[in-house]
């Protein structure tokens, strides 16, 4: 070990002091680049509903402002968390510490959403979570830096849960994905349906990404419930529905897909899924503006965007607008601006962010069309009901978030 001479030490200290001062002067846009990143499932069960399509959606938002804000370039980072909470947290930490990340968008999988929210709060950077569903993000685990953009398990429960009970489905059996998201969805839906007069007669948990659901179908059938509630998503939901059809479960029970994306319907086909109720935050065929944006997305990705991908676009766009308006990418200033702003874009109309971090906007109860009603590929839904503003989400009386009391 060499001894460092006093001169070198003095020089080093002087240099760092200078850099420190220089750094402070540049604090307007840190590092002269606006860096936004997304960590999501790029290759596994949730890759189609978010994944590479999310990066494309973000790119569309960046291109719209010409790739720069106030002359500072925008850079997009993306990474695959492989549905592992520790991988997500480590990546987020690395980006915040070493890559100068200014804003993180949270992808699918609630376990990773929660772990990244903790990291973002520690680093005091904005975390706009789009893909993860658990209501805990704006509930017991809310932070001043988390904004839950698209949807959550409470909205899904209130939407689909209520609709199915009203249509006569009083007794439920849950098939639940065994991790944060599944438990949250089952818990929130149970609360909603018991309040509406229904009962839960049984439930079973399956591992995330299970390939065979035949055993669970048998258990569901022997429960004699009217409704089979699917508290899982994407690949798991698709396999559950397939198995339900194969084992004749659909003859004696109705399926309630508590989280269904348009990609799942596309994969299963309208024959299998027609008349199913689902709650979602956005539909590409909702209005002319959505259609136009969706077609641009389709040209690049060869499939219609899911609600998550539209929300990724919206979150990016609104963040960049906030950076432009405040002239800085300082987290607290940008978040303060966002909390006061009205969110109006292709994803949400008249949206706003609550003190608990929830971005409040309309949710839609939709029903899957019958094959005869569908006029073109991806034309799968009809909007049955709209939950305006606050009615879809956790209310102030129910909230567990200490920031909103």
Partner 1 sequence: MTEIFGIPIQAFLGQLLLGLVNGSFYALLSLGLAVIFGLLGIINFTHGALYMIGAYIAWLSLEKLGLNYWWALLVAPLVVGALGIAIERGLLRVLYKLDPLYGLLLTFGLALIFEGVFRDQFGVSGQQYQVPALLRGSTDLGFMTLPNYRAWVVVASLAVCLGTWFLIEKTSLGATLRAGTENPRLVQGFGINVPMMITLTYAAGAGLAALAGVLAAPVIQITPLMGSNLIIVVFAVVVIGGMGSILGSIVTGLVLGMVEGLTKVFYPEASNIVVFVIMAVVLMFRPAGLFGKEA
Residues in contact with partner 1 by the rule CB under 8 A? 43-45, 47-48, 51, 178, 204-207, 209-212, 214-216, 218-219, 222, 234-235, 238-239, 242, 246-248, 263-264, 266-269, 303
Residue 245's closest CA among 217, 215, 264?
217
How many angstroms separate the CA atoms of 382 and 19, rounded? 58
CB 351 to partner 1: min, Å: 28
Q: How near is the Cβ of 317 to partner 1 at its closest, in Å?
A: 25
If the CB atoms of residues 204 and 384 are measured against partner 1, the closer one turns out to be: 204
Residue-level length of the chain: 405
Alpha carbon 302 to chain centroid, angstroms: 22
CB of 344 to partner 1, least distance (A): 31
CA nearest neighbour of 356 among 397, 321, 387, 323: 397
Query: What is the closest distance, in whole angstroms, from the C-beta atom of residue 179 to partner 1 in the complex?
Result: 10
Closest approach, Cβ 209 to partner 1, in A, equals 6
Which residue lies nearer to partner 1 by CB, 162 or 234? 234
Phi, psi of 344 (to 5 degrees): -135, 105
CA 200, chain centre distance (Å): 27
Nearer to partner 1, 85 or 238 (CB): 238
Q: Provide the sign of the torsion angle of the four alpha carbons 236, 241, 244, 246, taken in this order.
A: negative
- DSSP, collapsed to helix, strand or coil, labels residue 48 as coil
Phi-psi category of residue 83: left, alpha or beta, with phi > 0 → left and psi -120 to 50 → alpha: left
Q: Give me the least distance between CB of 251 and partner 1, in Å please.
A: 9
207 or 327, CB closer to partner 1?
207
Q: Tell me the pairing of strands 227-231 and 171-177.
A: parallel
Residue-wise burial string across 58-83, b where 16 or more C-beta atoms lie within 10 A, e elsewhere: bbbbbeeeeeebeebebbbbbbbbeb
φ, ψ of residue 290 in degrees (nearest 5): -65, -40
- What's the CA dihedral at 207, 209, 215, 217 to 10 degrees? 110
Q: Which is nearer to partner 1, 218 or 336 (CB)?
A: 218
Query: For residues 279-300, b (16+ Cβ closer than 10 Å) or e, as one string?
Result: bbbbbbbbeeebeebbeebeee
Strands 68-69 and 72-80: antiparallel
Q: Which residues pair with 171 in a beta bridge?
A: 199
Nearest distance in Å: CB 274, partner 1: 15
Are 156 and 188 a contacting pair, CB within 8 Å?
A: yes
Question: In whole angstroms, how close is the CB of 123 to partner 1 at the nearest point?
Answer: 31
Cβ proximity of 294 and 286 under 8 Å? no
Q: How far is the CB of 169 from partner 1 (least distance, A)?
A: 22
The least CB distance from residue 377 to partner 1, in Å, is 14
């Amino acid at each position: 070990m060499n001894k460092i001479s006093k001169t070198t030490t003095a020089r080093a200290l002087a240099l760092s002091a200078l850099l420190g001062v220089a750094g402070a002067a540049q604090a307007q846009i840190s590092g002269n680049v606006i860096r936004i990143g997304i960590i999501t499932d790029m290759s596994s069960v949730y890759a189609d509903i978010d994944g590479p399509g999310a990066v494309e959606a973000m790119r569309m938002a960046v291109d719209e402002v010409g790739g720069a804000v106030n002359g500072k370039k925008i850079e997009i980072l993306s990474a695959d968390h492989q549905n592992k909470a520790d991988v997500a947290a480590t990546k987020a930490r690395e980006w915040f510490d070493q890559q100068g990340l200014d804003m993180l968008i949270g992808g699918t999988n609630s376990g990773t959403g929660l772990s990244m929210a903790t990291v973002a709060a520690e680093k005091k950077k904005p975390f706009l979570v789009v893909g993860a569903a658990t209501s805990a993000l704006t509930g017991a685990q809310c932070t001043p830096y988390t904004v839950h953009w698209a949807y959550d398990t409470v909205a899904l429960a209130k939407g689909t849960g209520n609709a199915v009970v009203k249509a006569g489905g009083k007794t439920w059996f849950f098939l639940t994905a065994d991790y944060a998201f599944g438990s949250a969805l089952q818990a929130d839906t149970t609360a909603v349906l018991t309040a509406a007069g229904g009962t839960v007669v049984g439930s079973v948990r399956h591992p995330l990404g299970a390939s065979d659901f035949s055993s669970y179908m048998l258990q569901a059938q022997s429960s004699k419930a009217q409704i089979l509630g699917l508290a899982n998503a994407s690949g798991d939901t698709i396999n559950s529905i397939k198995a339900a059809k194969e084992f004749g479960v659909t003859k004696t029970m109705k399926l309630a897909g508590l989280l269904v994306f348009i990609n799942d319907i596309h994969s299963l086909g309208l024959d299998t899924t027609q008349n199913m109720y689902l709650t979602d935050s956005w539909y590409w065929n909702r209005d002319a503006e959505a259609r136009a944006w969706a077609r641009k997305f389709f040209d690049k990705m060869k499939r219609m965007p899911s609600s998550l991908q539209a929300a990724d676009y919206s979150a990016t766009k609104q963040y960049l607008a906030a950076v432009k308006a405040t002239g800085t990418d300082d987290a607290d200033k940008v978040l303060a601006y966002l909390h006061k702003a009205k969110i109006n874009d292709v994803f949400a109309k008249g949206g706003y962010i609550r003190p608990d971090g929830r971005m409040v906007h309309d949710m839609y109860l939709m029903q899957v069309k019958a094959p005869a009603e569908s006029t073109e590929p991806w034309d799968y839904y009809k909007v049955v009901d709209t939950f305006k503003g606050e009615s879809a989400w956790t209310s102030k009386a129910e909230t567990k978030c200490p920031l909103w009391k």
